[in-house]
Amino acid sequence: MKPLARIASMAELRAEVDALDARLVAGLADRARLIDRAAELKPAEGIPALVPERVAQVLAQVRTEAVARGLDAALVETLWQHIIDWSIAREELTLGKGEGA
């Protein structure tokens, strides 16, 4: 990302936002692949899709990271709660397939 002071026009700013959005989507795709791998590993370790302690740990970590970066921690927690809920539902689909097959 360019230093903010070097962004001289809205067109440049929009290009930076678009590039960042693409990196965020790529990161979410990487996270989804990790979740898929978790769903493969969890049965052998007897771990369910939802582990409340892990959810709390992840939320605490992203809140801390948000604060350290000057970002609204409540916003980040809300976003991550949605990501976590989606991830758990994705794992449950995979784990359910293994039980019924």
Range of the structural domain that residue 34 is part of: 4-100
Whole-number pLDDT of residue 84: 97
Whether the CB-CB separation of 80 and 58 falls below 8 Å is answered with yes
Mean pLDDT, to the nearest integer, of 83-94? 94
CA distance 83 to 101: 27
With a threshold of 0.95, does the pTM exceed it?
Answer: no
Total number of domains in the chain: 1
Residue 87: CB atoms within 10 A of its CB come to 22
Sort 38 into a burial class: Cβ within 10 Å, 0-12 / 13-18 / 19+.
Answer: middle
CATH code at position 26 = 1.20.59.10
pLDDT tens digits, residue range 27-74? Answer: 999 999 999 999 999 999 999 999 999 999 999 999 999 999 999 999
pLDDT at 68: 98
